[in-house]
Every structure is written in structure tokens, then in C-alpha cells.
């Protein structure tokens, strides 16, 4: 696999697939620019070599055509600030505007193409669409690990039209850090799995049971485990058809000698709202009409102790509904524990993308853990052992 460091971009027009799928508020202000900042080293290496950059990305999930709220023009001010120069914009990724501006691009200049998902061909992995995009540049750089698990036109199919296919710094770092956790983990190795559904995490949990020493399970999926073991969960989140699966996971962990840690108490609410009435109860004793929205103080202490005694930590998924400040205490406490284990105890900590990354970054801890992944689903699939089309296209 060619890497950015091994390639000289002098005089080249680099067509760079990035992941600028950033969250925007109602005023089109970016609320978390992690993914933009992550691409700065790749873009600057190309420019400093004497090349030019054509950036392509998707944003959101447009329904079959252009939508104002998903236009990438909204992120132009942030890109100008990130790269320290003006960024040109083509309002049609494969139209005459893009063709002309790409052709006229000089070394040191940057062009951003409009949202690729304004074309249904992008997600279909259309070969003709990929070929049209490929004609804009001389070399293809894939720095979008967050979409590497999708066989889309710009993330994978396009590779066949380039002799030179290069992995960007983000892609390289994501793969290196995932491999470090999967293949070279220092022990004790603790995985923290949170989030809403067992069904989203079952493959990664089963894979991790072969490698981890400790598995911490938090978030909404714990209530299915509790219910399966005969506990009362009120109106908490439940995957009723996954209860047998939950018991199987516990049995497999026991057989493989993995320590499983589940909540011993929960913070529950009488309504799905930050302002709801709340109480802390023992696990399995949530009253009817109430729902668990966070882990309780005893659980926080237990989970923290496990994390602080770990040398490798993988965290994917929040401990509760962290979007509500009153139910973010568990997630925040785990973040603090991971930071402390990293800074004071020398642990290696990999934060899975998605909500875990948002939680860590919002709390200001992003630069105090070993690595924050930019890819949620992509990281999970890679760790499950699946071949990622966006990675395979670089080989």
C-alpha cells in the first residue's frame, strides 16, 4: 500500500476522498470539526510537495438529489481556516464547473467538490460515475476511513482508474492503531462496549472475547442482558428477541475466561427527557413506568477501577444517554478514567468513532487519549475481521 510519505505529489493534482460528514447546527455551524482537522496533515503534505488538492466527500443522507442543508459549501469557511488559504468550490461534482476548475488548478491550490451523495450513483458504486470523477485528478488519495466499509464510487470503485493509489495519513493511522489493539495489545486488555443495541455490537463482542481480558458492557444494551437474567427493567430499551443471545455472550465469556463487568446500579427516569424525575436503583429493580438512562455511582466506581488497571483500552459506545447532561455522568466518568489510565498509567487507549468520539471530544479529552478514531462503523467492521472495500482498493 502506497502511503502519503512514500509519494511525491510535485506537479500532481491529487483527488482526495475525505470524510467531511461533520455535524452542523440549524445555522450551518460545525459543532464538531474533528474530521476536518484530521485531514490537515495529508492535505498540507500534498501542497508542500508542490501539488494541488481536489477534495471530495459526502455530507449527511440526502434523499436522491441536492438539498441545501447538505451542501458542502457550508463548510468552506472552516476549510479556509483549517488550511490557511482560500478553497475553491465546484457546485457540481462531475459537471463543467468541476472539470474547468480542476483543469485550471495550480500547485498549492485547493478545490472542494459538491456533496457526492447528491448523485445516487455514488452510493450505488456506479463505475461510470467513478470514472468521471477520476478524470479530475492524476492520483487518488483515500483518507476517508470513516467510509472505507462502503463500496461506493469515490471510496473504492474509483481506484481501478488510477495507477497511483495512496493511503492518506488518517487512513494509515486508523489501520495502524486498530492493528495495535487487535494484534499487539499489552495486557490487561479491556474493551468497553456501550450503545443502544446488542445487535449492532454482537460481531465485535464475539471477536473481542478471543482477545480481551475484561469486557465492560454499558449503555442501552445492558437492559436486554438484565431482562434475560430475570431482572425488572421497567420501560427501558429492550431487544426482546436478543435475550437468548445475551445469555450466550455471558456463557462464552465464562468459557473463555473473560471477566465481564455489567452495571450494578442504574440512573433511571420517568420520561425520556433531561428534565425528567430521576432515581438510582440497583440493576434489575427499575420500577414500572421508569427507564434506565445511565449507569449509577457504584457502577462508575467498579468500571473505573477496571479501566485504571488496564494497559490497553478499546472504547466504543456511550454508557448512557450522554446527549442529556443529567444522564451523561457515566460516560463522562469513563472518559476521565480512560484519560487517567493513559496519562498516568501508560495505557494505550483507542476510542471508537461515532458517539464515543463525540463524547470524548465534547468533554475536551480528545488529545489526552492515545487515538480517537474517525470511523464508527468502519472501525467495528475492520475489527470484526471484514475486508473494507476502501482499504482493499488501495492495495
Q: Which residues are catalytic?
A: 35, 197, 354, 377
Residue with cell 444522564: 327
Buried residues in 337-372 as b, exposed as e (16+ CB within 10 A): bbbebbeeeebbbbbbbbbbbbbbbbbebbebbbbb
Residue with cell 464508527: 376
Question: What are the grid coordinates assigned to 234, written together?
Answer: 421497567
Question: What are the grid coordinates assigned to 335, written together?
Answer: 472518559
User: Which phi and psi angles does 348 have, rounded to 5°?
Assistant: -100, 125
Pairing of strands 291-295, 265-269: antiparallel
Q: 171-176: which pairs have CB atoms within 8 A and are 24 or more residues apart?
A: 171/142, 171/143, 171/144, 171/145, 171/390, 171/391, 171/394, 172/3, 172/4, 173/371, 174/145, 174/373, 174/374, 174/375, 174/378, 174/379, 175/145, 175/382, 175/391
- Peptide bond before 200: cis, by omega within 30 degrees of 0? no
Amino acid at each position: 500500500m502506497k502511503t502519503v510519505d512514500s509519494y511525491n505529489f510535485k506537479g500532481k493534482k491529487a483527488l482526495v476522498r475525505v470524510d467531511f460528514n461533520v455535524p452542523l447546527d440549524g445555522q450551518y455551524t460545525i459543532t464538531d470539526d474533528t474530521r476536518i482537522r484530521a485531514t490537515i496533515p495529508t492535505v498540507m503534505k500534498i501542497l508542500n510537495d508542490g501539488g494541488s488538492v481536489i477534495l471530495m466527500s459526502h455530507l449527511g443522507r440526502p434523499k436522491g438529489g441536492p438539498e441545501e442543508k447538505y451542501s458542502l459549501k457550508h463548510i468552506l469557511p472552516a476549510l479556509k481556516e483549517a488550511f490557511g488559504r482560500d478553497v475553491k468550490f465546484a457546485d457540481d461534482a462531475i459537471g463543467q464547473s468541476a472539470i474547468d476548475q480542476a483543469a485550471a488548478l495550480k500547485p498549492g491550490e485547493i478545490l472542494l467538490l459538491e456533496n457526492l451523495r447528491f448523485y445516487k450513483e455514488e452510493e450505488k458504486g456506479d463505475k461510470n460515475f467513478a470514472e468521471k470523477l477520476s478524470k479530475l485528478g492524476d492520483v487518488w488519495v483515500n483518507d476517508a476511513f470513516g467510509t472505507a466499509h462502503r463500496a461506493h464510487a469515490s471510496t473504492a470503485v474509483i481506484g481501478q482508474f488510477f495507477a497511483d493509489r495512496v493511503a492518506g495519513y488518517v487512513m494509515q493511522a486508523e489501520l495502524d492503531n486498530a492493528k495495535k489493539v487487535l494484534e499487539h495489545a499489552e495486557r490487561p486488555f479491556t474493551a468497553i462496549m456501550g450503545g443502544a443495541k446488542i445487535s449492532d455490537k454482537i460481531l465485535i463482542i464475539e471477536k473481542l472475547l478471543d482477545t480481551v481480558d475484561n469486557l465492560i458492557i454499558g449503555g442501552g444494551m445492558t437492559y436486554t442482558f438484565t431482562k434475560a437474567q430475570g431482572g425488572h427493567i421497567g420501560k427501558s430499551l429492550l431487544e426482546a428477541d436478543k435475550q437468548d443471545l445475551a445469555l450466550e455472550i455471558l456463557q462464552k465469556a465464562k468459557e473463555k475466561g473473560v471477566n465481564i463487568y455489567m452495571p450494578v446500579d442504574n440512573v433511571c427516569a420517568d420520561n425520556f427527557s433531561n428534565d425528567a424525575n430521576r432515581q438510582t436503583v440497583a440493576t434489575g429493580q427499575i420500577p414500572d413506568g421508569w427507564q434506565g438512562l445511565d449507569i449509577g455511582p457504584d457502577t462508575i466506581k467498579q468500571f473505573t477501577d477496571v479501566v485504571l488497571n488496564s494497559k490497553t483500552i478499546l472504547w466504543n459506545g456511550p454508557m448512557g444517554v450522554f446527549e442529556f447532561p443529567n444522564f451523561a455522568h457515566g460516560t463522562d466518568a469513563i472518559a476521565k478514567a480512560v484519560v487517567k489510565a493513559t496519562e498516568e498509567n501508560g495505557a494505550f487507549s483507542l476510542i471508537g468513532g461515532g458517539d464515543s468520539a463525540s463524547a470524548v471530544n465534547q468533554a475536551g479529552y480528545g488529545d489526552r487519549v492515545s487515538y480517537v478514531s474517525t470511523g464508527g462503523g468502519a472501525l467495528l467492521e475492520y475489527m470484526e475481521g471484514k475486508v473494507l472495500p476502501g482499504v482493499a482498493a488501495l492495495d
